[in-house]
Amino acid sequence: MTTLAKNAQLAANYQAVCDHLAHADPNDFDSQIPPTFISCDAEQNSIVCSFDVKQSFGNPNGTMHGGLIAAMIDSAQGSTIAAICGLDTRIVTVSLQISYLQPTLVGQPLFVRVRLQQAGGHIAYCSAEAWQQEGKIAATTSAVYHITRGGKQQ
């Protein structure tokens, strides 16, 4: 398969995940922060997406609550795993380490670049970086996920 075809397939898979999250039960947390696909690089197992940073996500200083930044990055990483490993893959966060490097402002989109570093039998390793302005990283993460292919949790 050509690189172009691999990127097209990865983009289609990620868009299917985004569509599923956007149309899930409105009471599900992930449906409240669906990612928007921006780009991908299948050769690098990397996807860039964005999230709307609503006013309600902020604190009195006009910056985003750190827990929501972590939730968005976690959602982006899980969506990337599903797009790469299969849409029927069940993903559970094992650990998520986040470093906040600068404030994230409400009212501006948050961009996240995820790289799936390795996916084995039941474990996947991801890293990500988030920013609002190009060249100014707001947060970085490394994470471990438990994955079950075929849709059923063990």
- Based on its alpha-carbon atoms, the radius of gyration of the chain, rounded to whole angstroms, reads 15
Closest C-alpha among 103, 152, 153 to residue 132: 103
CB atoms near residue 25 (< 10 Å): 8
Provide the β-strand partners of residue 51: 110
Name, in order, each residue with C-beta under 8 angstroms of 53's C-beta and a sequence gap of 6 or more: 64, 104, 105, 106, 107, 108, 109, 110, 132
**pTM as predicted:** 0.92
| Cα angle: 52, vertex 17, 130; to 5 degrees | 40
Q: Which helix (H) or strand (E) holds 110?
A: strand 110-119
pLDDT in tens, 28-67: 888 889 899 999 999 999 999 999 999 999 999 999 999 9
pLDDT in tens, 83-119: 999 888 899 999 999 999 999 999 999 999 999 999 8
